[in-house]
Amino acid sequence: MEPTLEISKELQDLMHKARSAQAAYAHFSQSQVDAIVRAIAKV
Residues 6+ away with beta carbon under 8 Å from 25: 33
- pLDDT at position 19 is 98
The residue with greater pLDDT, 18 or 2, is 18
CA 6 from centroid of its chain's CA atoms:
19
Interatomic CA distance for residues 29 and 15, integer angstroms: 23
Domain range spanning residue 22? 3-42
Collapsing DSSP states into helix, strand and coil, what is residue 42? helix
The angle subtended at Cα 28 by Cα 23 and Cα 32, nearest 5°, is 135
State the pLDDT confidence band at 4, using cuts at 50, 70 and 90.
confident
**pTM of this prediction?**
0.62
26 φ, ψ (degrees, to nearest 5)? -60, -20
State the total domains in the chain: 1
